[in-house]
Structures are given as C-alpha cells and as structure tokens.
Amino acid sequence: MDEASGALLPGWFAPLVQVARTARADDITRFVPPPGHHRRSAVLLLFGEGPDGPEVLLTQRAASLRAHPGQVAFPGGSLEPTDAGPAAAAVREAREETGLVAGGVVVVGTLPDLYLPVSDYAVTPVLAWWREPSDVAAVDRTEVARAVRVPVGELLDPAHRFLVAHPSGYLGPGFAARGLFVWGFTAVILDRVFALAGWERPWPHERLEPIPDLPAGDDEAAAVGADGEDAP
C-alpha cells in the first residue's frame, strides 16, 4: 500500500493519484474555464474498496429537479462562502446528499477545473479515498433519488459500455451498471479517468444507445458539447 495525505492507499489506487497529478483539462474535455471565471462548483470522485473490489460513489438526481432531472452524477455542488475550497465543498455536498461520514473520506488530490458552458460553472473534480466506507442513501429526496456504490469492474466491463446518442447529434461515452444509465459530464469524466489510469478495456464503440426517457428541455448535452462530436 502507498501512503498519501496521511492515509494508506491500496496499490490499485496509485494510477488515480497519478492522473490527479498529471492530467490536463484538455485530456478530459475541450471545455476549460475562461480566464477570470468565478462561478465554481466541485464534485467528489470517491473511490473505495467494496465486496466486489474497487467502487465509486454515484448519485441519481431527483426527477423533479429543473436541471438534469433523473441523471447520474457525482456528489457535489456549488462552493459556499464558508467552504475552505473545492475539496471541502465536495465532501460537504456528498455528506448532505448521501449521508456519508465525512471523517472516513481522505482527499487525495484534484483534477483540473472543467467548464460547463450551459450553466457557466467551473467544476473541480476532487479525488478521494474512502478509507472507512459508511452507509449511504438519498438523504434529501427533493435532490437525490439514489446513492449507489458502483463497482469499477462493472463500469469497465465492455458489455456495460457504449456511445450515447442524443437527439441533437451529440455522441459521448455511456455506462450501464447497478440500474444506472450514466452519460454526459459524469460519463466523460469516468471515461477519461479510466483511460488515463490505464484501466480501460476495449469496448464496442459501434454500439449506440439512446438516452432513456429524456426530459423535455434537457440541456446536459449542451453542457458537454452537443455539436455532434464526442465530448472528450
């Protein structure tokens, strides 16, 4: 095991640490925050060890939300004035959304800020090790419908991977695992982090899947580049 941030990390976590240390924003997406941008948010990429090996925490947004209803996301949200920074905001939001015990989370690093043009947010992905996993659930049902610890092996399984076809013409990576249909910004981050970590397995890029039950007015594709090009 390796040591980082005062915590012992399993050997399989080391490639993720390297990604956080070396990845550039354009390794993940072509959208980067404009100079002087101040509207900020953070998401928590929380990896732990589960019964089926490495896993990552994902949430499904409530269907009643105005922004991205029913979509899968990392825990996270806007930075508040009381937050010490992106890491503190990501952990706070994860605790509020899923009920996880913050003391069991060890922040290891951050990825470069990414930009969501449709909402004008600069998003900081915060990488963390779930040193002491705790029970999670949808704490506030008005915001979160589900909180799921998803095995990384299921996300990497070629049978669970495909390209998502949006009516706008957007094509981007998609995953299906534990009853979740993962696409858009969240899938882009997972896709690129897995590739940069050397974990990606060959998967069928010719397989296209439509977005199920796309809500009217959905703008997730615009957030990652709905111009007919792959989001990364």
Domain assignments of the chain as residue spans, ordered by start: 2-224
Q: Quote the mean pLDDT of the chain.
A: 87
pTM of the model: 0.88
What kind of fold does domain 2-224 have according to CATH? Nucleoside Triphosphate Pyrophosphohydrolase (3.90.79)
Give tens-digit pLDDT for 34-93.
Answer: 887 778 999 999 999 999 999 999 999 876 556 566 689 999 999 999 999 999 999 999
Q: What is the 3-state secondary structure (H, E, C) of the chain?
A: CEEECCEEECHHHHHHHHHHHHCCHHHCCCCCCCCCCCCEEEEEEEEEEECCEEEEEEEEECCCCCCCCCCEECCEEECCCCCCCHHHHHHHHHHHHHCCCHHHEEEEEECCCEEECCCCEEEEEEEEEECCCCCCCCCCCCCEEEEEEEEHHHHHCHHHEEEEECCCCCEEEEEEECCEEECHHHHHHHHHHHHHCCCCCCCCCCCEEECCCCCCCCCHHHHHCCCCCECC
- Give the model confidence (pLDDT) of 171-228 as tens digits: 999 999 999 999 999 999 999 999 999 999 999 999 999 988 755 444 444 344 333 3
